[in-house]
């Protein structure tokens, strides 16, 4: 029978009648995507979301809105990000159908040799690594805003930066997260006169509800609006930044500040089930770690068909393996060869999958580690889709709470403390408890490894933009975002989805209070897992559009009460035409 079939197939293939087959049967025409029914923005602060929608109403596109949201977050969330820091912007240009990854990560100043961060006993000087001028990299965010406006925006910076300038001048009410963060960083911030003055503008310690004004920051953003790149990296602001760093004992050169450039990188792409994922390449560790985790899982199991205990066990084992590789291999691809092809290959994932025991935890204790503190306030993310189908997923940061704690006098610019994301002393864990080695050692101009993971996912019906803050937990937050959409959740459910996290070292599953019930925890412990129940973390902001109906929805993390996801109806053509005429 088999032979008969094979023969008949061969005969059919050889038959002259097959000539008709030279014109292959037409594949059913793929339905064209409909345009989104307006615009959707989700961000960590309502004022930033509103600023983005204000700019879309003025005729801007998603990229103009991104400038408004990003700069407004710099003003209203100095605890998390700012123009003294950096970020990653994943863009989708609807016209060319291209994804672009804009790397605006800070760079290492020349002065930041590994020796500069050791104390007299040769130990990592934590104070230098986390506080003041030595902890700060050369900022990247202002260059990203200018690049976005020049290459992708439709409006001038004077328009897209106007909301942030206005809010910096008029002020906004302080909210508990800013006060709690200040209380944690007070000892450091009060060391620096400009930081102390800013935080004590009411003549006492700041309190919830105080109106927080930043006139110096307004002026600095105005200079960017008026002069673009040179408004920050050269002239008045640059001189003040250089003087501030030098006055506090650090060293930046005018040359390294004045030549900072954003980098365009190819997004990292992979498939998970029926989803196409575009995400952050190195110097983010997020994309490749997520690819590893999802390929380990996707190649072996359908999570939707596993019991709760199996899901947590398998995801934990995938996390453990991906975070181990993050520690060893990853760094700035312009300086080190990152074995992306191997780490991201299906074969490598299969090898890792084969080491997972279905009923037993794998111990992590190949290397020493130290407990990771719970970090949930640093860094911020926003997601945008506009009515043309342009998309932005952007994550930006000053690293830890209020970055370095140091405001450069006369600028309102709070400097980042991103240098701590380098392996300043290889083999010693950073503030997130994550270790690194030579691949992530500082070098002049090098970009420190990041966990920021702005991501797009797309299947036949849906497109979503996702991202989150949370230090090393960013990657698993976004992972749960993808899994949530795959489980059929809407954007708000995705943002609210309970989380757990394992990062190889320390060898424990951190679980949010309501993520795992007692029976699941008991079953996991029986398998050899340690479980640490923790207060909730993260601040995921996600938006989605249905390509068949145009419907939009947004999700803002309920763990952050000041965030906002907002859907608006399409802007009328008249407003757009006016914008083009500028």
Under the binding rule (CB under 6 A), the answer on residue 411 touching ligand GLY is no
How near is the Cβ of 499 to ligand GLY at its closest, in Å? 17
How near is the Cβ of 430 to ligand GLY at its closest, in Å? 9
Reduced DSSP (H G I as helix, E B as strand, rest coil) percent helix, strand, coil of the chain, to 5? 40, 15, 45
Name which of 50 and 103 has its Cβ closer to ligand GLY: 103
Under the binding rule (CB under 6 A), the answer on residue 399 touching ligand GLY is yes
Name which of 75 and 475 has its Cβ closer to ligand GLY: 475
Cis peptide before 324 (omega within 30 of 0): no
Name which of 56 and 452 has its Cβ closer to ligand GLY: 452
Say if CB 232 and CB 224 are below 8 A apart.
Answer: yes
How near is the Cβ of 282 to ligand GLY at its closest, in Å? 12
Chain residue at closest Cβ approach to ligand GLY: 450
Instruction: Tell me the pairing of strands 509-512 and 531-534.
Output: parallel
Residue of the chain from 64, 99, 317, 421 that contacts ligand GLY (CB under 6 A): 421
Name which of 61 and 285 has its Cβ closer to ligand GLY: 285
How near is the Cβ of 454 to ligand GLY at its closest, in Å? 11
Instruction: Tell me the pairing of strands 462-466 and 541-546.
Output: antiparallel
Alpha helices in 131-234 (DSSP H): 141-151, 157-160, 162-170, 176-189, 193-199, 215-227, 230-233
Name which of 452 and 482 has its Cβ closer to ligand GLY: 452
Residue of the chain from 450, 503, 520, 542 that contacts ligand GLY (CB under 6 A): 450
Name which of 160 and 397 has its Cβ closer to ligand GLY: 397
Selection from 140, 476, 471, 453 nearest residue 280 by Cα:
453
Residue count at the site for ligand GLY (CB under 6 A)? Answer: 9
How near is the Cβ of 426 to ligand GLY at its closest, in Å? 18
Q: Characterise 343 by phi-psi region: left (phi > 0), alpha (psi -120 to 50), beta (else).
A: alpha
Q: Is 1 exposed, middle or buried (0-12, 13-18, 19+ CB in 10 A)?
A: exposed
- Find the part of the chain contacting ligand GLY (CB under 6 A) among 3-11, 242-250, 406-414, 444-452: 444-452
Phi, psi of 79 (to 5 degrees): -65, -25
| CA separation for the pair 107, 298 (Å, rounded) | 35
Phi, psi of 271 (to 5 degrees): -110, 145
How near is the Cβ of 474 to ligand GLY at its closest, in Å? 6
- Nearest-10 crossing angle of helices 308-329, 286-298: 140
Say if CB 540 and CB 377 are below 8 A apart.
Answer: no
Name which of 364 and 472 has its Cβ closer to ligand GLY: 472
How near is the Cβ of 30 to ligand GLY at its closest, in Å? 38
Instruction: Tell me the pairing of strands 413-414 and 407-408.
Output: antiparallel
| CA separation for the pair 160, 69 (Å, rounded) | 9
Name which of 252 and 432 has its Cβ closer to ligand GLY: 432
Subset of 453-482 contacting ligand GLY (CB under 6 A): 471
Residue of the chain from 39, 70, 390, 397 that contacts ligand GLY (CB under 6 A): 397
How near is the Cβ of 452 to ligand GLY at its closest, in Å? 5
Subset of 48-87 contacting ligand GLY (CB under 6 A): none
- Find the part of the chain contacting ligand GLY (CB under 6 A) among 146-154, 347-355, 437-445, 450-458: 450-458
| CA separation for the pair 201, 356 (Å, rounded) | 56
| CA separation for the pair 84, 72 (Å, rounded) | 13
Name which of 284 and 364 has its Cβ closer to ligand GLY: 284
Q: Characterise 158 by phi-psi region: left (phi > 0), alpha (psi -120 to 50), beta (else).
A: alpha
Residue of the chain from 39, 364, 451, 539 that contacts ligand GLY (CB under 6 A): 451
Active site residue 476: no
- DSSP-derived letter for residue 502 is -
How near is the Cβ of 417 to ligand GLY at its closest, in Å? 9
| 3-state SS record for 8-51 | HHHHHHHCHHHHHHHCCCCCCCCCCCCCCCCEEEEECCHHHHHH
Under the binding rule (CB under 6 A), the answer on residue 452 touching ligand GLY is yes
Coil vs helix vs strand at 92: strand
Q: Of the residues 379, 380, 395, 476, which is catalytic? A: 379
Which stretches of the chain bind ligand GLY, using CB under 6 A? 379, 397, 399, 418, 421, 450-452, 471
Q: Which residues belong to the active site?
A: 379
């Amino acid at each position: 029978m088999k032979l008969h079939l094979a023969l008949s197939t061969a005969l059919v293939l050889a038959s002259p009648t097959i000539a008709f087959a030279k014109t292959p049967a037409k594949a059913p025409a793929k339905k064209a995507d409909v345009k989104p029914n307006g615009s959707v923005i989700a961000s960590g602060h309502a004022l930033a979301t509103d600023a983005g929608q204000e700019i879309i109403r003025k005729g801007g596109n998603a990229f103009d809105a991104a400038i408004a949201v990003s700069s407004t977050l710099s003003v209203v969330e100095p605890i998390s990000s700012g123009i003294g820091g950096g970020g990653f912007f994943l863009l989708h240009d609807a016209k060319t159908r291209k994804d672009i990854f804009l790397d605006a990560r800070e760079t290492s100043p020349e002065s930041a040799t590994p020796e500069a961060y050791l104390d007299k006993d040769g130990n990592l000087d934590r104070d230098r690594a986390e506080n003041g001028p030595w902890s700060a990299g050369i900022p990247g965010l202002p260059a990203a805003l200018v690049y976005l406006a020049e290459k992708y925006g439709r409006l001038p910076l004077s328009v897209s930066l106007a909301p942030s300038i206005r809010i910096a001048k008029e002020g906004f009410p302080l909210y508990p997260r800013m006060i709690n963060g200040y209380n944690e960083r007070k000892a450091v911030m009060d060391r620096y006169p400009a930081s102390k003055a800013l935080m004590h503008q009411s003549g006492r310690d700041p309190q919830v509800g105080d109106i927080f004004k930043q006139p110096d920051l307004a002026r600095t953003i105005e200079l960017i609006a008026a002069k673009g790149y040179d408004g920050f990296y050269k002239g008045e602001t640059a001189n003040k930044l250089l003087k501030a760093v030098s006055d506090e004992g650090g060293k930046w050169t005018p040359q390294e500040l004045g030549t900072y450039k954003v980098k365009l990188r190819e997004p990292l792409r992979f498939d998970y089930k029926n989803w196409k994922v575009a995400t952050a390449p190195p110097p983010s560790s997020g994309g490749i770690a997520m690819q590893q985790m999802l390929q380990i899982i996707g190649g072996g199991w359908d999570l939707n068909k596993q019991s709760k205990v199996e899901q947590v066990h398998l995801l934990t084992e995938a996390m453990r393996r991906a975070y181990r590789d993050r520690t060893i291999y990853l760094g700035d691809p312009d300086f080190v060869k990152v074995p992306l092809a191997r780490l991201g290959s299906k074969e490598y994932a299969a090898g890792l999958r084969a080491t997972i025991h279905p009923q037993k935890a794998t111990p992590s204790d190949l290397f020493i580690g130290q407990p990771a503190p719970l970090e949930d306030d640093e860094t911020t993310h926003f997601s945008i889709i506009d009515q043309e189908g342009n998309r932005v997923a952007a994550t930006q940061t000053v690293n830890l709470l209020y970055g370095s704690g140091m405001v450069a006098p006369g600028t309102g610019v709070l400097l980042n403390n991103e240098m701590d994301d380098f392996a300043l002393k290889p083999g010693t864990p950073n503030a997130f408890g994550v270790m690194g080695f030579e691949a992530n050692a500082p070098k002049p101009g090098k970009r420190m490894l990041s966990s920021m993971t702005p991501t797009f996912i797309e299947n036949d019906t849906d497109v979503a933009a996702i991202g989150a803050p949370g230090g090393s937990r960013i990657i698993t937050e976004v992972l749960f975002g993808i899994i949530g959409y795959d489980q059929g959740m809407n954007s708000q459910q995705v943002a609210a989805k309970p989380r757990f996290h394992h990062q190889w070292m320390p060898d424990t599953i951190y679980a949010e209070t309501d993520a795992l019930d007692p029976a699941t925890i008991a079953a996991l412990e029986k398998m050899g897992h340690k479980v640490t129940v923790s207060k909730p973390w993260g601040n995921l902001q996600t938006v989605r559009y249905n390509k068949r109906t145009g419907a939009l929805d947004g999700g803002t993390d309920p763990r952050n009460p000041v965030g906002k996801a907002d859907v608006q109806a399409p802007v009328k053509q008249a407003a757009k035409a006016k914008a083009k005429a500028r």
